[in-house]
Structure 1
């Protein structure tokens, strides 16, 4: 089963209410309780942010993104095309550094973000093999 904990996500830049004010920032899923639609995200310091799955964004699957780039090339400007290809090339390396760099490119341009990212909610619905509850307990 695929797990969400440890996955990089972006807090939707247009999120209107965010108690930890992390809109547009990249974080790491620390705890995911999908039954309650409660995702806790860490940002490398400070408190965890708690979000619903529709408030978080992830990159599209690299094969899907590549296909979208090639079929939509006529409908985009050269800068968007270049950025999308750069994101897609970074996805070839599945380490945090490359994925984080790809997400930063996506967030900088609303058109690129729209074409390269989907909500975590959509990602979950496409990947039915994700655990429904992935509570992580931190016992001492």
Structure 2
């Protein structure tokens, strides 16, 4: 899961055991510890913390958001303003600066319906990637 290195994440705001007291703060994944399903995160003040991947939150990658919205708009009873807000969040996030990414994640976290649709844990992302790889390998086999 080396593709997660460099990704901006937010430490879950409700995390009760936080090694560096950064609940709700944005940091950058610097290293993944595959065996432990953990990640080292560097914060603005250059502090590092080791977190379980289920304690780190991220926006669903932009390349997946259209498919996710197609399935969730009706299921989650979203209206047009929710979808517009989501698209604006991704536009802000795309600026690429830590401040913009923090703003987008903060904004998404303050809306229950939106956060359920577009925020998931790094652990969920890893599971999604593993499932996708398994499906590609299974469908690529000949008879």
**Given the two structures, how large is their TM-score scaled by the length of structure 1?**
0.73
Match of 1:101 in 2: 103
Q: Which structure 2 residue ranges, 5 or more long, are not aligned?
A: 133-143
Larger Rg: 2
How many residues in Structure 1 have an aligned counterpart in Structure 2? 128
TM-score normalised to structure 2 length = 0.72
Which structure: greater helix fraction?
2
Judge conservation of contact 1:66–1:88 (CA < 8 Å) in 2. Answer: no
Q: Counterparts of 1:108 and 1:40 in 2: how far apart (Å)? A: 25
How far does residue 103 in structure 1 lie from its aligned partner after superposition? 1.8
> Shift of the alpha carbon at 1:15?
1.5
Please give the root-mean-square deviation of Cα atoms over the aligned residues, in Å: 2.6
Q: What does 1:46-85 align with in structure 2 at a 5 Å threshold?
A: 47-74=47-74, 75-77=77-79, 79-85=81-87
The higher relative CO (CA closer than 8 Å, separation ≥ 6) is in 1
Give the gaps of 5 or more residues in structure 1.
130-140
Q: Is contact 2:72–2:117 with CA below 8 Å preserved after alignment?
A: no
